[in-house]
Structure 1
């Protein structure tokens, strides 16, 4: 893992950038020198982020986009190609929890929305920017996952399934590109003081959890051109890469 991260002159795309981990990742990337393409549904959050990035002396391009607009994702990839001709860093961070519920009680529309945003939109994003990342001298993809993909706790079925699917996409993509300059890794951020965590665990004291800015600071080195690892999952709490293991 690189000890420092210099992203001067590099171009980073961050989804779910209007709040939580995505917001602070966008700030950290900008602070390290990257031009950030910030994507989110919430215009107000994006504008606040833009102000913060400008205060740091950085630059951002704001893209208000609902990731269920699959054609919109494709258009965004085309626009990046036309303007910059490449992409150096992808942070596929956007996601929703859905509902904490027994599987048999989950409404079809809720399950479908979780899969649409967490899985299908991530695949569509990968498909759209893959050639742009390959055009970079050191493309870096950071795919946000969750410990839920492995623990598969009771009542977390849709979210856990979506994150397991996202990890499988990341692993396949990493294997396809292992002989290229592109590095693809998933991230388990662990419990973090975010709105999603509060939705999932309403009785939990948020002050006992790390702030998303702390989590973001540990993730940013995965965007470094010096990074060697690919096809792994980075555990933020352990601050190290973990191998995927097949059941014995």
Structure 2
């Protein structure tokens, strides 16, 4: 299926590497102008080069997602330049540490929550008015199977993703009568730096490349996607399951 995103504006966080990088590239290849956000200037510049090589266009916004004032200003800047936002991909997040709950340092736990949860809420608040100005606003929020499996030693990350899912599901319910569709994505085990941090002994070549996951995610950004409030699960480069959490 060919996805046409010509003249649509897409914002991607965590766009300097991994799933964010390749999702931004897929959006640009489909015709969207990508607003790429990340801390790494070098990674964003590499993304810009890749997008230009495909004939696409991007605006690079290097900043740390824990900078709440920068998130607020981002919404205003998008409004001044484009007047709307068609696609949000809230991808950025951190793992924290793999540790027993009682051994996690307070500053580490708080940073995971700030980056994964509070920043996502702040981003929603900043861009919601812009998405509502689109004829078919689409918000894609990255989650994880950790939100449901709650494995030992993954407490901080699991709790943060469970909170993100609650935010997204609530937001979707609030927007039922608008053109904005809000969905969650569990990309599954993917060949990323975060996965390597969590599973240092794992052979990355046994995992899907983030480009494959990004290709599976792309259709959710299309105006033709009408579902909302759903959790889409990517396995083997496609959605093998999607469900409405009870």
TM range (shorter): over 0.9
Query: TM-score, length-normalised on structure 1?
Result: 0.97
Q: Which residue of 2 aligns with 1:116?
A: 114
Q: 1:228 aligns with which of 206, 226, 229?
A: 226
Do the aligned partners of 1:15 and 1:94 also contact (CA within 8 Å) in 2? yes
1:240 deviation in Å?
4.6
> How far apart are the structure 1 equivalents of 2:93 and 2:34?
19
In structure 1, the gaps of 5 or more residues are none
Q: Which residue of 1 aligns with 2:176?
A: 178
Q: Which residue of 2 aligns with 1:188?
A: 186
- The reply to whether residue 244 of structure 1 matches residue 244 of structure 2 is yes
Q: Which residue of 2 aligns with 1:4?
A: 2
Q: 2:145 aligns with which of 135, 142, 147?
A: 147
Q: Which runs of 4+ in 1 moved over 6 A?
A: none
With over 3 angstroms needed to count, the CA separation of the structure-2 counterparts of 1:241 and 1:11, relative to structure 1, is: farther
Q: Which residue of 2 aligns with 1:213?
A: 211
With over 3 angstroms needed to count, the CA separation of the structure-2 counterparts of 1:84 and 1:182, relative to structure 1, is: same
Q: 2:44 aligns with which of 28, 43, 46?
A: 46
> How far apart are the structure 2 equivalents of 1:58 and 1:132?
22
> How far apart are the structure 2 equivalents of 1:223 and 1:155?
34
1:5 deviation in Å?
1.1
Query: TM-score, length-normalised on structure 2?
Result: 0.98
How many residues in Structure 1 have an aligned counterpart in Structure 2?
244
Do the aligned partners of 1:232 and 1:241 also contact (CA within 8 Å) in 2? no
Alpha-carbon displacement from aligned partner over 1:42-86 (angstroms, at most 9, x marks no partner): 000000000000000000000001011000000010000011110
> How far apart are the structure 1 equivalents of 2:221 and 2:169?
17
In structure 2, the gaps of 5 or more residues are none
Q: Which residue of 1 aligns with 2:135?
A: 137
1:186 deviation in Å?
0.3
> How far apart are the structure 2 equivalents of 1:232 and 1:104?
33
> How far apart are the structure 2 equivalents of 1:50 and 1:5?
21
Do the aligned partners of 2:231 and 2:245 also contact (CA within 8 Å) in 1? no
